Every structure is written in C-alpha cells, then in structure tokens.
Amino acid sequence: MKKIALFYGTRFGGTVGIAEKISEVLTQKGFDVLIQNTKEIDNPKQIFEIEYSGIIIGSGIQIGAWTPKMKHFIEDYQQHIAKESVKLGMFVSCGTAQTEEGTLKACTEYVDEFAIKLGLKPVITSAFGGIYDFSKKSKHGKIKKKILKAIVKKESPGKFDLENINDFRNWDEIVAYAEKFAESM
C-alpha cells in the first residue's frame, strides 16, 4: 500500500476540513494516509523515517502568506518534500478563491510562486475558498472581525452574512483535487 503524508497549516480551522476531505478520498482510493497539522508535530525527523510515495502540503492564507509553522516546516524539511521519487501536491485555502478567476489568481500567487521560490515541483496545485467567521463564537478577536468586515463590505458588498459563518469551500473541487492526486500516483 502506497503511503501519502498530508501536512497542513491552519490559523482558525478552515484548512482542517479540506485536509480531512483529501485524506478521506485518498484512503478510499486505497492509500495509507498520514494527516498532520504542522503545529502538532512533535518529532518531524521521525515522520520522515517513513518512505512516502506522495506528500501533500497545504495552508490557510492570511495577508498573502502561508502559516508561519507550515512555511518553516517546508523550509526545514525541503530535502524530504522535494525528493524526485515523491509526488508532491500543494494547496491553499483563502478568501481570494471564491470564484474561478480568484482561484486562478490564488493558485498563481500563493501556490505556484511559493513553490518556485522554494524549488518545489508539485504535480498538482489548487486553491480552495476559505471560511469567514463573523459569528459570536468566532476565534477572531473583535478588532480582526471589524477589519475583515470592513474589507468584505468594500470588496464584496452583500455577499457575506456579517453575523455568521460564511463557508466558501467547494467540496466537489476538493474531492476532484484528491482524485487527480491519486491518479498521479
């Protein structure tokens, strides 16, 4: 059974669901999948003692940047992630990827350019919509929510419910991404 490692970074939890769905699809396709939030990795060297046929790395994007832990993880373990014998997939979750045009822009700016900068050669990349949580239970502080509300009011008037959770993740696109990665294996 081929092994795939799926590493992700998240700030507020939206990327977790994407990573879990990708893992679920790959598991159903017969792969042995390790799924790990980079914030929770205690011993990264031990993880790479296992030979993986594929690695997927993904992150939530905020102000154009991958999560710091994920970025450092990639930089620190690039020799394992960029191995020629390992198929690499990359994705991001961000607000820009709410439309087809936005998805292309996010994929270019946040995935493709990032991969080039780090010398990575993914076989598949994508950008998925994220979550805007304006609910009272939001993990965003009051100031951050106020700033986000001002931005979305200006950039997308009427598109957001400014009192609740707005989930722009397209599950069909996420499943299709996982299936394409599986086919590349």
* C-alpha distance across the termini of the chain, in Å: 12
Contact between 112 and 120 (Cβ < 8 Å): no
Distance CA 52, CA 30 (A): 14
CB atoms within 10 A of CB 184: 13
**How is domain 3-130+168-184 classified at the architecture level of CATH?**
3-Layer(aba) Sandwich (3.40)
Please state the domain extents for the chain. 3-130+168-184, 133-166
Per-residue pLDDT of the chain (185 residues; tens, 9 = 90+): 899 999 999 887 789 999 999 999 999 999 999 999 998 888 888 888 888 999 999 998 887 888 899 999 999 888 888 888 899 999 999 877 878 888 888 999 899 999 999 899 999 999 998 877 777 777 777 777 777 767 766 767 777 777 767 787 889 999 999 999 999 98
Q: β-pairing, 54-60 with 3-9?
A: parallel
Q: How do the residues of the chain divide into helix, strand and coil, expressed in percent and rounded to 5?
A: 45, 25, 35
Please report how many Cα atoms fall inside a 13 Å half-sphere around the Cα of residue 47, on the Cβ side. Answer: 20
**Secondary structure of 14-77 as H, E, C letters:** HHHHHHHHHHHHHHHCCCEEEEEEHHHCCCHHHHCCCCCCEEEEEEECECCECCHHHHHHHHHC
